[in-house]
Amino acid sequence: MSQNRLPPPESEACLFRLRSSTQKGGTLIAEDVTDHATHERRICDPDGYRPPFCPRCGKRLHVHDYRERVLRAEPSKPVTTIRRFECVSCAAIWQILPLFISRHLWRTWNVVRRALMPDHKSSSPSEPQHWPKVPQRTVRRWRTRWLRPALSLIQILAASGQATWATLATQLLPEATCADLVAAYAREHLGQPLAGLAALLFRLQPKVRLM
């Protein structure tokens, strides 16, 4: 593994950039929140997750509500809390997800990573020993996506206008899979490769998903 790997991408661009005026809220990913402990601290602080302005219109955001989010197959934390903010001006509602929770899979990326990459070493020494099992049919579904061609995702990186991601795209063959893409990302970037790459793709093109 290279000693010169880069730190995870900046989260600022995701949370703070203005979104399309037709987008009436949605999800923002706090890319600097990588574990449950940090998430708990941010949730307890009323301003912990508050974006500086509404990504749709630029006005102030108020806390809208808290929502429970089920995390299946999580060893010690089957439910967590997610905060939503409402814009005082345009009424858009934004939920803030920490990096380590998958947007679509009802699990943390750690659970997905353990199912798809059982030999991948954990980035956290404090990870529990015993994990609930993920149903085999779910793992099969994930594996199908994991091994699908990643060409459309690679093209998004190539067209991002950012040299780091364009370079990453050039390292991959046209027939590369999502697994190959995650492996290439992991060789050059610190942190959680699945979560980091999923957040990056969401930032570049919110309509696509890694998994």
State the residues that interact with Zn ion by CB under 5 A. Answer: 54, 56-57, 59, 87, 89-90, 92
CB nearer to Zn ion: give 53 or 142: 53
CB nearer to Zn ion: give 89 or 177: 89
Phi and psi of 63, rounded to 5°?
A: -65, 130
CB of 52 to Zn ion, least distance (A): 12
Two structure tokens written together for 53: 């302005």
CB nearer to Zn ion: give 27 or 81: 27
CB of 14 to Zn ion, least distance (A): 17
Q: Are 95 and 82 within 8 A, CB to CB?
A: yes
CB of 81 to Zn ion, least distance (A): 23
Taking each helix axis as running N to C, give the angle between helix 151-158 and helix 163-170, from 0 to 180 degrees, rounded to the nearest 10: 140
Beta strands 79-87 and 61-70, pairing class: antiparallel
CB atoms within 10 A of CB 13: 12
Q: What contacts 24+ positions apart, CB below 8 Å, involve 137-141?
A: 139/115
Q: Please report how many Cα atoms fall inside a 13 Å half-sphere around the Cα of residue 74, on the Cβ side.
A: 19
Residues 75, 209, 1, 129, Cα dihedral to 10°:
10
CB of 19 to Zn ion, least distance (A): 9
CB of 50 to Zn ion, least distance (A): 13
CB nearer to Zn ion: give 54 or 204: 54
Residue among 46, 44, 115 at smallest CA distance from 80? 44
CB nearer to Zn ion: give 59 or 187: 59
Burial class (CB in 10 A: 0-12, 13-18, 19+), 75: middle
CB of 145 to Zn ion, least distance (A): 34
CB nearer to Zn ion: give 5 or 19: 19
